[in-house]
Structure 1
């Protein structure tokens, strides 16, 4: 049992003891006896001497369900799902289930099905009150779609939604496409959360061109003062090595190459994806797990010329022969 749970149980026991002590200290206004008892079936305070009902209709602050052990007390809850920034209404509105079944799991009649279909349609319509909310709903659904295609965690979607809401509040959407701002918000969230995705990968799942994504991202990050650190090429290494089916030894060697050559100033002004791809190519040769430049370039989505140039620079900086 966790410490907060034990503390809550102790506080509940103390409150019950305090209530019992207060009841015991009361005196019957009819006969003056101090034998006030609580009725177990009706929750009334009754004088045990004369039978006068001293207090009735007490409010029960406890839950309406019964629990017989600790696990049942933990699992029973009346709260709903937590609020989320990934929905335009933060998940506070209700939703009618798409299953045409009643509370017992039985199929409903055709008349009821038609009625539920109309209710679902109106429920979806009234969730958005104006064009602004409809646009926000569309943008957040686009962020969710692209995030699913990229395989990024839930935290990235939440951060991207917050960035888009801030851009909407600052009126940065005016004159720009909703998809462009939503995509740039997702790209910024990936960098914020340390799960880098290149602009090429983002543009593949987006309906916006790479050039527009980059332009919108720079504008949004500047206007919202998003402090973005340069992407570390080492963060690309595990994913690229996994897609190339390379061993842990190659992954470690590539990270060492990046770290050593970056200390000598070679990383300045270079594309992090191309730099990571060249380091992986060099590490695969050094560890006798050769991969061609074409294979590495396809995974990293860079050109073979970029890998060749970065590879030559890294080998020279390490004092090795190509």
Structure 2
């Protein structure tokens, strides 16, 4: 990038020092602009299996089956402060995250899928099935391990890789 340098009195090539945020004249070393802010996106580069570079945004993966609650922050007042009608305190006592139960179920599905050596498409299908059950309010009061085993069993059948009920139940944490 060429810029006019007031010290050299000519158009000169400039160097940008990212660490300091300075734009420096390459001829005389005059700092033309200091502490500039880089407003471009923050990216990290991850190497993929083929050895190439895969640029991804910074941050954890987003699960499309979870609501926006996983991205929220709750700030409360201290023990001496008041929090109005107490709804904030009730939310914090419940764990603060309305998707907490479904996150636990997804973790249980992932664990069981790993034990069964299932591919990610089956794990994802089982998570979708569980999410449908959760949306229809069919999971309340039911045994999580049994629901997870059933979701994995159904997902295996839907993906054309059927397993027996006994085969799936053997890898469940809780077998009755």
Are 2:12 and 1:36 aligned? yes
Q: Which residue of 1 aligns with 2:117?
A: 151
Q: 1:46: Cα distance to partner?
A: 4.0
**CA shift in 2, pair 1:145/1:55, >3 Å:** closer
Alignment of 1:236-315 (within 5 A): none
**Structure 1, unpaired ranges of 5+:** 1-19, 64-71, 93-125, 210-322
- How many equivalent pairs are there? 143
Question: When the two structures are superposed, what TM-score results if normalisation uses the length of structure 2?
Answer: 0.51
Correspondence 1:158-173 to 2 at 5 A: 158-173=124-139
CA deviations on 1:165-195 (whole Å, 9 max, x unpaired) are 2321221213533333222211121123221
Q: Residue in 2 aligned with 1:198?
A: 164
Greater relative CO, 1 or 2 (CA 8 Å, sep 6+) = 2
Which runs of no fewer than 5 residues in structure 2 stay unpaired? 43-50, 72-91
Name the one with the larger helix percent.
Answer: 1
Asked if the contact 1:86/1:158 (under 8 Å) is kept, the reply is no
Counterpart of 1:57?
A: 35
Contact 1:46 1:52 in 2 (8 A): yes
Contact 1:187-1:197 at 8 Å conserved across structures: yes
Residues 44 and 130 of structure 1: CA distance in aligned 2, closer, same or farther (over 3 Å)? closer
When residues 131 and 179 of structure 1 are mapped into structure 2, their CA distance, relative to the original with a 3 A threshold, is: farther
Task: Compute the TM-score of the two structures, normalised by the length of structure 1.
Answer: 0.32
Report which of the two structures shows the higher radius of gyration computed on alpha carbons: 1
Name the counterpart of 2:153: 187
Q: 1:131 to 1:181 in 2, by over 3 A?
A: farther
Q: Following superposition of structure 1 onto structure 2, how do residues 212-227 of structure 1 map, counting pairs within 5 Å?
A: none
SS at structure 2 position matched to 1:174: coil
Higher strand share: 2
